[in-house]
Structure formats: C-alpha cells, structure tokens
C-alpha cells in the first residue's frame, strides 16, 4: 500500500480515499502543508521538493511561462524555491520561436533560461518536433526537400543557441498515434506527411550534432494506463525505440508525459512492465509532464485534493524508485496556472486543482504525496 506522509506523519492511501469520500482526517499528511491562510509562501519552508529529489539523486521541476514568472513575483518565488528544473511551457515551440520562415524570436526562451541560471535551476528543452503549435506559415512548405532543410536548420539554430545549458531536449513529441491507421503506429502529422518516418532520425542526429551534452528524449503521451489503446501505443513505441537504437540513432531517454486522470484507479502494472523493457534497451527515463485531471471528481475541494493526491502517490510509488529515472516534472506548479483550466475544465465551472500547490501557492495533499515518494527514494539511497 502506498502512503503519503509529511515530515512528521503518514497518511495511508486508504485514509486519503476516506478523505476523498468526505470522511476522516489525516493529520499526518496535513502537517507538512502550508495551511490555508498563511501570508508567506509555504514554499519558503523546508523541506522543498527540489532538495528531497536531489537527496535521492533525482530532480524535481515544473513547466512554466515567462508571462507568469514576470508578472507574479509570489509565484516566481515559490517556483524558484521548490523547483530544481524549469521547462518552458510554450516558448520553445515553433509557433513561439518562428514568426516567419527567415526569423527566430528567442525572447521568451532566453528570458526563461536566464531566470533559471539566476536561480540555479536546470532547464529542459520542449520541443523540437511536434504536430501541434506549428508556425502557421509552415503549411506552405510542401516538398520533402524543403521540409528536411527547414527542420535541420531549425534544430541546428535552436539547440545550438542553448548548447551546454540544457539538461535534456524533447527532440520529438507525441509521434505515436495508432488511431491514424499506419502499420508502424506513427502519427499522421505535418512532418510525417512530408518526410515519412525519416524526420525522427533526422531530428535526433541534428540535435546530437548541435549539443553533444544534452540528453535527447523521445517524449510520449497516453501510455500510462491499462486499457487497450494505451497498450497499442506502448507496443508501437517499444518497436520504434528498438528500430531507432538498432540504427544507431542517438536517443538517450524516454519521456513519459504522465497526464493522469483523477477518477481512474490504476496500479500502473502494465506501464511498469513496459518501462522494464525500456530500461533493458539502456534508455534513461523522465516523467516529463505530470498532472492529475480532476474534472470527474467531486466538487468539494478537500475530497478532490485527496483523490488527486492518491493518484500522485500510486504513480510515483511505481515510478520514482526506478533506477534509470532522472527526475519528475509537473506540468505547472500551482493551480493558479495550469493548461487544464482550459483543456480539462470541469462541467460545474469550479477551478481545477491538478497540481501540488493551490491557487494561493500553498502546498496541497498532492505536494505531500510527491514529497513522501521523494523521501522514500532518498531514504533508500542513504541505506
Ligand atoms: C500545452 C501548454 O501547457 C498550453 O499552454 C498550450 O496552450 C498547449 O500546449 N502535451 C505537451 C505540451 O507536450 O506541450 C502541452 O502543453 C500539453 C500536452
């Protein structure tokens, strides 16, 4: 049974679920939290997730944007205190970087990399190749030769600019989509339509040439659960990784996005078996975009938080002890800023609560779940 503990106490999964059902109280899990109405940010109180992660040889970080860090000093303080790594949430996507075919706009990404340097944070690059957030003008590019030239030049420029400063790059993002009907399970996308599967190799080779120090990651979504659709994605993904490695393509790690769902219980056994196979291929592992959707959970915030925390606890109990895991990134830090306000909105209109900190940047049960999982790994490292 997984447990959620603060520094002073333990809250079992059963207790969390009791909380979720509206009954019981678990003082242990709440002891490390900031409390609902504290003037100073709870993130200023030790222990912090970044330190707990480091004690176990991992990192903890989050995705964020320039706009929120710049406009919201309270949030920026919380971010710098709690995170050991920053991922630009949108600033390195084509749509942000490439206003025109012959132009780059590095202003957002440069600002975030400078913020990270000042605060002593690692940075992950996200992402060089994606079917989404493309620059609108790309649609006018039709010929394979032009697409190949553009992609190569883009990666050389972007990866080259931050060479030596990136922990890792999500070189390709979400390339598997069996629903598109191809035998190899690859997604039908702008890049695939022009270059077939060759764009994947091209991207990894180009990234390796531009920054030999960065870990190069294949980042994938919807592979976490036990259903048939996830199983199909895992099968295609494993086959793709095997093909790439057999050809000597420089893939160093698998990124597991980990956008989880609060009302779906899982022991994540099927994912664990798959990750054993990935480890046997010699690949590292990163949890790249963790959050827990609460759109089908009860409205009452305490119950919702407990159910969300139980999913964090179960997932990280499986994930964090894995020997090839580099670290965990949540897709956002505080419920004040989460993509799920738009993409995972609740039918009742209540603000969503998928992240470790609440709207006021106070620690939630999800924080406690993450801290317990990190602490467990740190304790094992010490013994
Ligand atoms: C999301 C951002 O969080 C949003 O701000 C943006 O509007 C859309 O993209 N998988 C990914 C991320 O790999 O890049 C996505 O980020 C979330 C899903």
141 phi and psi angles, rounded to 5 deg: -85, 120
Enumerate residues 6+ apart whose C-beta is below 8 A from 238: 274, 277, 278
Say what angle helices 144-161 and 198-210 make with each other, to 10 degrees. 30
Average pLDDT in the 101-108 region? 98
Q: Which atom of ligand 1 is nearest to the CA of 288?
A: 13
Q: Ligand 1, from 168, 222, 343: best to mutate by most atoms within 8 Å of Cβ? A: 343
Say whether pLDDT at 5 is over 70. Answer: no
What is the DSSP-derived secondary structure letter of residue 12?
E
Q: Is the pLDDT of residue 263 over 80?
A: yes
- For 199-213, b where at least 16 C-beta lie within 10 A, e where not — what string? bbbbbbbbbbebbee
Decide whether any atom of ligand 1 lies within 6 Å of the 6 Cβ.
Answer: no
Cut 0.75: pTM above it: yes
* DSSP 8-state secondary structure symbol assigned to residue 357: B
What confidence score (pLDDT) does residue 45 get?
Answer: 81
The 10s digit of each residue's pLDDT in 203-237 is: 999 999 999 999 999 999 999 999 999 999 999 99
Ligand 1 contact, 173 CB (< 6 A):
yes
**Spatial CA neighbour of 112 closest among 55, 81, 69:** 69
Tell the residue nearest (CA) to atom 7 of ligand 1.
339
Q: Ligand 1 atom closest to Cα of 342?
A: 7
Q: What share of the chain is helix, strand, coil (3-state, %, to 5)?
A: 45, 15, 40
| pLDDT tens readout for residues 160-179 | 999 999 999 999 999 999 99
Instruction: Name residue 4's beta-bridge partners.
Output: 11
The arithmetic mean of pLDDT across residues 4-14, rounded, is: 45
pLDDT digits (tens, 9 = 90+) for 67-80: 999 999 999 999 99
358 lines ligand 1 (CB under 6 A): no
* Mean pLDDT score, 175-196: 98
Is pLDDT of 117 > 60?
Answer: yes
Can you give the pLDDT at residue 3? 42
Q: pLDDT category, 8, cuts 50, 70, 90?
A: very low
In the block, residue with structure tokens 């999964």:
13
- The answer to whether residue 31 scores a pLDDT higher than 90 is no
Q: Is 90 in the pocket of ligand 1 (CB under 6 A)?
A: yes
Residue 177 CB less than 6 A away from ligand 1: no
Check residue 382 and give its pLDDT: 83
Asked if residue 295 has its Cβ within 6 Å of ligand 1, the reply is no
Question: For residue 62, which of 291, 336, 360, 247 has the smallest C-alpha distance?
Answer: 291
Six-digit token string for 143: 């010929």
CA 263 from centre of chain: 20
Look at residues 184, 159, 162, 167 and name the one whose alpha carbon lies nearest to residue 236. 184
pLDDT at 310 over 90: yes
pLDDT at 12: 56
Instruction: Write the pLDDT tens digit of every residue in 121-145.
Output: 999 999 999 999 999 999 999 999 9
How high does pLDDT run on average in the chain? 92
- Percent share of the chain, pLDDT over 70: 89
What is the CA 39 to chain-centroid distance, rounded? Answer: 29
* Cα separation values, 175 from 221, 238, 308, Å: 9, 12, 28
Task: Quickly state the pLDDT bin for 19 (edges 50, 70, 90).
Answer: low
Check residue 188 and give its pLDDT.
98
Per-residue confidence band for 383, with pLDDT thresholds at 50, 70 and 90: confident
For residues 211 and 157, the answer to whether their CB atoms sit within 8 Å is: no
More confidently predicted of 283 and 43: 283
List of domains in the chain: 46-382 (3.20.20.80)
For the stretch 278-281, contacts whose Cβ atoms lie closer than 8 Å and that sit 24 or more positions apart, written own/partner, are 278/238, 278/241, 278/254, 278/324, 279/322, 279/323, 279/324, 281/241, 281/242, 281/245
Query: Residue 292: its pLDDT value, please?
Result: 98
2: confidence class by pLDDT, cuts 50, 70, 90:
very low
- DSSP bridge partners of 176: 186
Distance 89 CA to ligand 1 centre (A): 7
95 ligand 1 Cβ < 6 A: no
Tell me which residue has its CA closest to atom 4 in ligand 1.
Answer: 339
Whether the pLDDT of residue 39 is over 50: the answer is no
Which of 218, 289, 291 is the pocket-test mutation for ligand 1 (most atoms within 8 Å of CB)?
A: 289
Give residue 22's pLDDT band: very low, low, confident or very high (50, 70, 90): low
- b/e code 65-76 from CB counts within 10 Å (16+ = b): bbebbeebeebb
């Amino acid at each position: 049974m997984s447990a959620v503990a603060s520094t002073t106490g333990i809250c079992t999964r059963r207790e969390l679920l009791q909380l979720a059902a509206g009954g019981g109280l678990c003082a242990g899990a709440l002891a490390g939290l900031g409390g609902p109405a504290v003037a100073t940010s709870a993130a200023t109180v030790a222990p912090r997730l970044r330190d707990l992660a480091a004690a176990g040889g991992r990192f903890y970080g989050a995705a964020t944007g320039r706009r929120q860090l710049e406009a919201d000093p309270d949030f920026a303080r919380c971010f710098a205190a709690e995170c050991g790594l920053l991922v630009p949430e949108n600033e390195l996507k084509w749509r942000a970087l490439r206003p025109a075919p012959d132009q780059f706009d590095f202003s957002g990404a440069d600002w975030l990399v400078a913020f990270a340097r000042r605060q002593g944070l690692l940075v992950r690059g996200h992402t060089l190749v994606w079917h989404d957030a493309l620059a609108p003008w790309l649609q006018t590019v039709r010929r394979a030769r032009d697409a190949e030239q553009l992609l190569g030049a883009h990666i050389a420029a972007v990866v080259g600019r931050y060479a030596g400063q990136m922990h890792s790059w999500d070189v390709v993002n979400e390339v598997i989509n069996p629903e598109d009907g191809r035998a190899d399970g690859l997604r039908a996308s702008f890049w695939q339509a022009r270059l077939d599967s060759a764009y994947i190799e091209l991207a990894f080779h180009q990234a390796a040439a531009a920054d030999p120090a960065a870990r190069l990651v294949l980042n994938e979504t919807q592979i976490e659960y036990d259903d048939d659709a996830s199983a199909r994605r895992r099968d295609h993904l494993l086959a793709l990784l095997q093909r790439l490695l057999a050809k000597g393509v420089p893939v160093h790690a698998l990124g597991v996005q980990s956008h989880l769902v609060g009302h779906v219980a899982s022991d994540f056994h099927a994912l664990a078996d798959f990750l054993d196979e990935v480890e046997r291929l010699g690949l590292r592992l990163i949890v790249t975009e963790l959050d827990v959707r609460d759109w089908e959970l009860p409205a009452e915030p305490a119950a919702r938080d407990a159910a969300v925390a139980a999913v964090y606890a179960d997932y990280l109990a499986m994930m964090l002890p894995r020997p090839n895991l580099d670290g965990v990134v949540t897709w956002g830090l505080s419920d004040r800023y989460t993509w799920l306000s738009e993409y995972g909105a609740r039918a009742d209109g209540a603000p969503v609560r998928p992240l470790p900190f609440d709207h006021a940047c106070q620690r939630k049960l999800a924080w406690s779940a993450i801290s317990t999982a990190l602490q467990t790994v740190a304790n094992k490292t010490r013994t």
